[in-house]
Structures are given as C-alpha cells and as structure tokens.
Structure 1
Amino acid sequence: MDVQSFFEQAKTTLKLTQSTPLQSAYQFGSDPDKLAQLVLTGTKTATTSAYDLYETDEPLPKVGAYDVILDAHNQPVCVTRTDQVMITPYLDIDATHAYLEGEGDRTYAYWRRVHDAFFKQEYQSEHQRFDPHTAQMVLERFHVVYPVH
C-alpha cells in the first residue's frame, strides 16, 4: 500500500480531520525492518538525527505531527505521533534516551558505539566530518497511533 493511502486509513480510524497533514514518511537507520518492528511493538519510542545535516528547506520535526514509518521496501508499517523534539549536543545525550531508542541491549554504551559509527558514515556521505564534541542532534520521542493495538 502506498504511504498516502495508509495515512488516509489511519486518519479515518483515528477520527482525525481530513486536513491533518503527514509530516513525513521515512525508514530508520541501517536496519529499517528491524527498527520498524521495534517501533510497532512500542520498544522504540525515540530517535536521534543530525541537526547539522538538515537541509535549509527541510523542516525540523514538530510536536503533535504524524509520521509513517517505512520498512526496507518503503512499505508503511505504522503511524507515529511526535511527543517531544529537542536539539542537544551529541555528548549530552543520556542513558534514558539511549534506552528509549530500544536498540541492542538498550544501554548507553551500546547506543554510543552504534551511533558513533552511524553518524560518522552519515556525515561522510554529506562530505562533512562527524565530531562528537561539536555535533548537534535532534532528539525525538514518539508513540504509535496506528495500527491501534
């Protein structure tokens, strides 16, 4: 099913107005299928993105907005609603946020190891250098609203 049809079904089920906008549709990280399932089960309720890599025309996430989470084949898995958005230095991200990201053993050490490698690659793909001492990050918290369990 395409993203827009999936979101239309969600709006009907959730009794949202037809004018309710879709903020975005996206895949998570290096293993979209696994991470989408963590979101669907409520294990993953947070994510981190590089503020430094947002384009000037790319809006930051907004509290109250709806997103469609996609699998590795760009198929919709669920709709989330954004609960919190915060911009913070990379090195200020704490164990609570790491736990809420729901990955691996959910420890800060695991989160840091995986995200150091992920952001190094992300910055390189944009011809920039990832410096954990200066990097600014966008932290989001969200919850699944569709499908309803």
Structure 2
Amino acid sequence: MDVEIFWQQFKNAHPEVTTNHHDTYAFGSDADALAHLVKIGRKTATTSALELYEADEPLPYVGEYNVILDGHDQPVCITQTKVTEVVAFDQVTQEHAYHEGENDRTLTSWRQGHRDFFTAEYQAVGRTFNEQIPCLCEVFERVD
C-alpha cells in the first residue's frame, strides 16, 4: 500500500489528528523483524547515532507521527514519539534497552548489537565509532 494512502486512512480514522506531518522510515538492520516488534507492541523505543543525521535531516520530536515501514518499504503501523533525549552510548540504560524489544532485551545484548551496527554505519562515512558517541534515544507508542 502507498504510504500516503496509509497515512490518510489513519487520519480518517483519527479525526483528532490535525497535522499532515509525519516521518516515514524503516528500522536499521532487519526492517521486517523490527517493524513486526513495533506492530505487536514489544518494541517501543529506538536509538540513533546523533552525529550521523544529515545537516538538513530533521530530528524526531515529541508528538511527531511516524509511519513504520517493513523491509519492502510497505507501511506496517503508525507510532507517535513520546520522549527524545540525547545520551552517550555508554550511558544508555537497561530500561531503554528493554523497551527497544530486541533479542533478550538486556543491556548487554543491546550494546553488542548497537555497537556492531554503529561501527558499520560510522565506517561507511569514514568515521570511527566510540562508546561516548551521542545517541538520540526515542520512546514511542504505537497508535495504529
């Protein structure tokens, strides 16, 4: 289904939503699995490397709606951002790792998976990952 049709169907079902703005994205390394975790309510948080946002790329903000895509760029569900905060990689909490909903939901597995992902992302732009990088931690709620 087309993302804009999906969004309009959501708005039609939720007349309290007065904005036309929404972000559209798929999650990192396994978009299908991660979109599924959001859809079933297990994944309610995500983390991005703040330094890897493009200069003209807007950051997520509280109240923003997001159309979550699967690995084939098909819309799966809609979330709304509830919290954003910048935290150093090595200061991300067990609670945030749990809400990311991945693997066994521990901070240890979160750090390993995100360390691997961020290392590759930093290498792709000719930079070096370290454990003090600023991370944009976002908490969201599935709204449709």
Superposition TM-score tier, normalisation by shorter sequence:
over 0.9
* Alignment correspondent of 2:13: 13
- Per the TM alignment, residue 21 of structure 1 is displaced from its structure 2 partner at its CA by 2.7
User: Cα deviation per residue 1:47-105 (whole Å; 9 max; x = unaligned)?
Assistant: 00010111111111010010000000000000000000101111110100000000000
AA in 1 matched with 2:134? Q
Shift of 1:2: 0.9
**Counterpart position of 1:105:** 104
SS in 2 for 1:26: strand
Identity %: 47
TM-score by length of structure 1 reads 0.93
Match in the other structure for 1:25: 24
Deviation of 1:15 (Å)? 1.3
> Secondary structure at 1:67's aligned position in 2?
strand
Correspondence list, 1:83-102, <5 A: 83-102=82-101
Tell me whether 1:47 sits opposite 2:46 in the alignment. Answer: yes
Q: Give the aligned CA root-mean-square deviation in angstroms.
A: 1.0
In 2, Cα distance between equivalents of 1:9 and 1:23: 13
- Secondary structure of 2:111's counterpart equals helix
TM-score, L = length of structure 2: 0.96
Residue ranges of structure 1 left out of the alignment (5+ in a row): none
Query: Partners in 2 of 1:23 and 1:129 — Cα distance?
Result: 32
Which SS does the other structure have where 1:10 is aligned?
helix
Deviation at 1:128, TM superposition (A): 1.2
Given the alignment, which residue of 135, 140, 143 partners 1:142?
140
Query: Given that residues 24 and 67 in structure 1 are in contact (C-alpha distance below 8 angstroms), is that contact kept between their aligned partners in structure 2?
Result: yes
Report the CA distance between 1:22 and its aligned residue. 3.0
Residues 128, 21 of structure 1: alpha-carbon distance in 2 compared, 3 angstrom cutoff: farther
SS in 1 for 2:59: coil
> How many residues in Structure 1 have an aligned counterpart in Structure 2?
144
Equivalent residue number for residue 34 of structure 2: 35
Contact 1:21–1:66 (Cα < 8 Å) also in 2? no
Following TM superposition, the consecutive aligned residue runs of length 4 or more in structure 1 with deviations greater than 4 angstroms are none
Instruction: Give the structure 1 partner of residue 122 of structure 2.
Output: 123
Equivalent position amino acid for 1:10 in 2: F
Amino acid at match of 1:67: N
